[in-house]
Structure 1
């Protein structure tokens, strides 16, 4: 798994976008006490269910790989000239 440039910043933005996506669907309402790990797993499972992203093999579903996958998904949503992609 090759690390993206600005992967940490991309992940932070991706998590916010994922929360908006999930809450916009009306399937969940995250609480302020929910951890980033809980949100990440829920968003990943929802996006796989909605066929927004391809699933990982179940033995590879770990926080590090999910963070990377969500960051890639978000990077693909951004315009090429976005500062996080440079």
Structure 2
């Protein structure tokens, strides 16, 4: 797995956009007590279910790879000249 430039910032952006997407899909909002791990896994599974990202192999499903998938997803959603992609 190749590290993406600004991956941490992209992941934060992916969580924000993903939460908004989930709310628009009718899911309840994440509570303040939900951990980042729970949000990442929930968003990953929602995007896989909606066929917006390719699922990981079952043996590769872990937090690190899910984070990476979310960062890749959001990097493709942002405009080419976005500051996080520079």
Give TM-score scaled by structure 2 length: 0.95
28-37 vs 66-75, greater mean Cα deviation: 28-37
Structure 2 Cα separation of the partners of residues 10 and 24 of structure 1:
21
Structure 1-normalised TM-score?
0.95
Q: Runs of 4 or more off by more than 3 Å in structure 1? A: none
**2:5 match:** 5
Q: Which residue of 1 aligns with 2:73?
A: 73
In structure 1, runs of 5+ residues without a counterpart are: none
| RMSD (Å) for aligned C-alpha atoms | 0.8
What number of residue pairs does the alignment pair up? 86
